[in-house]
Amino acid sequence: MSPSHPPSIITGGSVSIGFDQSAFGDASQGRYTNADKVTERVEITGTGIQNYDLSATGHNVTVKIIHGNS
């Protein structure tokens, strides 16, 4: 992972989405949070990865998405 491309991270207790705004251009803000929302279920699908689909038993959930240039 290149230092110029830190991962996008989704965490819960409250639902927060954070990302390096420089990777997405000037219009992005970098962090969005809603304390009234909690993570209830995590689903991950994609080409070349194992699908994941489970309910969260607690609200301490972190999903890290590592990206770079293609």
What backbone phi and psi angles, to 5 degrees, belong to 22?
-65, -25
Please report the pLDDT score of residue 70 as a whole number. Answer: 66
Q: What is the mean pLDDT of each run of 10 residues along the chain (70 residues)?
A: 63 69 64 79 88 87 78
DSSP state of 57: S
> Structure tokens of 61?
């959930």
Please report the pLDDT score of residue 3 as a whole number. Answer: 52
For the entire predicted model, the pTM comes to 0.58
Please report the pLDDT score of residue 58 as a whole number. Answer: 80
Please report the pLDDT score of residue 53 as a whole number. Answer: 93
Please report the pLDDT score of residue 59 as a whole number. Answer: 75
